[in-house]
Structure 1
Amino acid sequence: MYKIEETTQLADRVHQIWIRAPHVAHHAQAGQFVIIRIDEQGERIPLTISGVNGDLVRVIFMAVGKTTHHLASLAAGEHVRDVAGPLGRPSEMISGGTCVVIGGGVGVASTPIIAKAAKDAGNHVIGIIGARNAGLLILEDEMRAVCDELFITTDDGSKGTHGFVSDVLKTLLAERKLDLVWVIGPAIMMKVTSGVTQPFGVKTFVSLNPIMVDGSGMCGSCRVIVGGETRFACVDGPEFDAHQVDFNSLMARQRVYTEEEKVALERHQAAHCGCEEGGNHHA
């Protein structure tokens, strides 16, 4: 069992938890993830490692489905059954260059640990973080502390640049030489933003989040198409060359279980409020 040491709600439906998991914290690197199972009958969910502090590992997530709502309801002092990791390949790093770390929405959760790794490797680090509005921005202070420059965008103009992260990236590409870019967020955002760097020939990584089950490459659930070949996000990624990713295939696979996820959440909420008989329901 793994103890939850701290929980914080960062924005609407966006939650941060610090879990005591020494075996993960002592080996975790930027870009890697963990798989969490809340209880013996629970669903296994992959979450990116967002930070490490001693024996503690941080994950940040949006409460969307049954399991993430359940995870968000846990308080400090409670426990989760499993924290498997660190899993996946660490971020590919350069040194002595200019790196841009971009996060959109809850994808910003992954940016501080990557930005810090890039900074520690001797790079000039530019951060770009965006959200629909100022109230949904997360980790601004943390990114400002680790980046040499930080740009903020909001869709509605309530903070920073009125527009998208891709707009700021376009300006930077026109003004200076960039050596490496990371883009992390919703699939459509990663597709559009990474497309901005392609004409400039700038190496760009995206962190993919397909459906995942075992995290060891055995089940094939997390298969993605990269460079025309099937790859497994859990062992070959989760970061891939953005210009080689088949985003249309990725987005189609992410929608496969939409109806089942909706039913599981409805049953969980009904059981939680006592509106439905029959005991516990699991995804």
Structure 2
Amino acid sequence: MYKILKKEILSQDIEKMVIEAPYVARKCEPGQFVIVMVEEGGERIPLTIADYDRSENSVTIIYQIVGYTTKLLSQKQEGESISGIAGPMGQPAHMKNVKRVLGIGGGVGAAPLYPQIKKLAESGTQCDVIIGSRTEELMILQDEFGEVAQNMYFATNDGSKGKKGFVTDVLKDLIAKGEKYDEIIAIGPLVMMKSVVEYTKELNIPTSVSLNPIMIDGTGMCGGCRVTIGKETKFACVDGPDFDGFLVDFEELMRRQTMYHVEETEHRCRIGL
């Protein structure tokens, strides 16, 4: 059993948990994830490691309540425990030795972006960050990014924070003003990452993305998380989740993400979500 040390509601349907997980905390690096099982025999779900503290043997996860298992997880409180947490899974993010990086986080994609920006900043890289969400209320980790980023920019669909529009609009504004970046890290909804990559590819700015396809075992055995990278089949759970955005077949990935849409909708209706 793994004890919940802290729990915090970040915004509507988005929560943060700090969980005691000694082995994972000792070994994990930015970009990796864990497989969480809330109750014994229950569904296993992949969640990004949003932060870690080796001194207190803890890892931080941030999740959005979108289905049965995340709803079950949200019902857990500080001092209670979850049944299992396995990891670290996946490959650590490829930390390049560059002078200036722009991080772009959309929605809960800000969670996996944060540990990468934090580590880059600690190594001396100048980091700017764009955070986007539907509304200011749904924007997460503003304070945390503010402590490690040199410049912060915001985009919201309704204009309640920063620029009214999308993260790509802010990105284009920055490039138009003459800002130059050695690399861009974009993490968020597939359509957001696809839009960022389409633009940065034209400018030949190296761009990494983090993929979250349908995943079951997290070890590469089931094949459910296969993605096409540079016309080669890769598995996001063992080869990723971070990949060169220029090589990702986003069209195929977006089609695969809708494979179980009907079944998911039916199940959400049955459990009242």
TM-score by length of 1: 0.92
Task: Measure how far apart 1:258 and its partner are.
Answer: 1.9
Asked if the contact 1:49/1:59 (under 8 Å) is kept, the reply is: yes
Q: How does 1:23-42 map to 2 (within 5 A)?
A: 23-42=23-42
| Cross-structure match for 2:145 | 143
- Alignment deviations for residues 157-193 of structure 1 (CA, whole Å, 9 cap, x no partner): 1111222111111122331321111111111111111
TM-score by length of 2: 0.95
- Alignment deviations for residues 30-85 of structure 1 (CA, whole Å, 9 cap, x no partner): 11100101122211100110011231111111100111111111111221111111
SS for the counterpart of 1:191 is helix
Alpha-carbon distance between aligned partners in 2 of 1:19 and 1:133, rounded to the nearest angstrom: 28
Asked if the contact 1:93/1:121 (under 8 Å) is kept, the reply is: no
Alignment of 1:223 onto 2:226: yes
Alpha-carbon distance between aligned partners in 2 of 1:83 and 1:263, rounded to the nearest angstrom: 28
Could you tell which deviates more after superposition, 28-37 or 251-260? 251-260
Alpha-carbon distance between aligned partners in 1 of 2:82 and 2:115, rounded to the nearest angstrom: 23
Alpha-carbon distance between aligned partners in 1 of 2:107 and 2:3, rounded to the nearest angstrom: 27
| Cross-structure match for 1:276 | none
Asked if the contact 2:64/2:70 (under 8 Å) is kept, the reply is: yes
Task: Measure how far apart 1:269 and its partner are.
Answer: 4.2
Asked if the contact 1:182/1:206 (under 8 Å) is kept, the reply is: yes
| Cross-structure match for 1:44 | 44
Counterpart among 108, 126, 129 of residue 128 in structure 2: 126
| Cross-structure match for 1:152 | 154
Task: Measure how far apart 1:25 and its partner are.
Answer: 1.1
SS for the counterpart of 2:27 is coil
Could you tell which deviates more after superposition, 88-97 or 124-133? 88-97
Alpha-carbon distance between aligned partners in 2 of 1:235 and 1:116, rounded to the nearest angstrom: 23
Asked if the contact 2:35/2:47 (under 8 Å) is kept, the reply is: yes
Q: How does 1:98-117 map to 2 (within 5 A)?
A: 98-117=100-119
Alpha-carbon distance between aligned partners in 2 of 1:87 and 1:71, rounded to the nearest angstrom: 20
Task: Measure how far apart 1:96 and its partner are.
Answer: 4.1
Alpha-carbon distance between aligned partners in 1 of 2:98 and 2:229, rounded to the nearest angstrom: 28
Alpha-carbon distance between aligned partners in 2 of 1:43 and 1:180, rounded to the nearest angstrom: 37
Task: Measure how far apart 1:5 and its partner are.
Answer: 1.3
Unpaired runs of 5+ residues, structure 2, are none
Aligned residues: 270
- Alignment deviations for residues 208-242 of structure 1 (CA, whole Å, 9 cap, x no partner): 00011111111101001111111100011000111
SS for the counterpart of 1:5 is strand
Asked if the contact 1:207/1:238 (under 8 Å) is kept, the reply is: yes
Asked if the contact 1:111/1:143 (under 8 Å) is kept, the reply is: no
Alpha-carbon distance between aligned partners in 2 of 1:115 and 1:9, rounded to the nearest angstrom: 22
Alignment of 1:17 onto 2:20: no
SS for the counterpart of 1:26 is helix
| Cross-structure match for 1:239 | 242
SS for the counterpart of 1:50 is strand
Could you tell which deviates more after superposition, 38-47 or 168-177? 168-177
- Alignment deviations for residues 116-151 of structure 1 (CA, whole Å, 9 cap, x no partner): 111122211011101111111111011011111111
Aligned Cα RMSD in Å?
1.3
Unpaired runs of 5+ residues, structure 1, are 271-283
Alignment of 1:184 onto 2:187: yes
Percent of aligned pairs sharing the same letter: 45
Asked if the contact 1:31/1:238 (under 8 Å) is kept, the reply is: yes
Could you tell which deviates more after superposition, 171-180 or 44-53? 171-180
| Cross-structure match for 2:175 | 173
**Letter aligned with residue 228 of structure 2:** I
Counterpart among 89, 92, 102 of residue 90 in structure 1: 92
Counterpart among 178, 199, 202 of residue 202 in structure 2: 199
| Cross-structure match for 1:273 | none
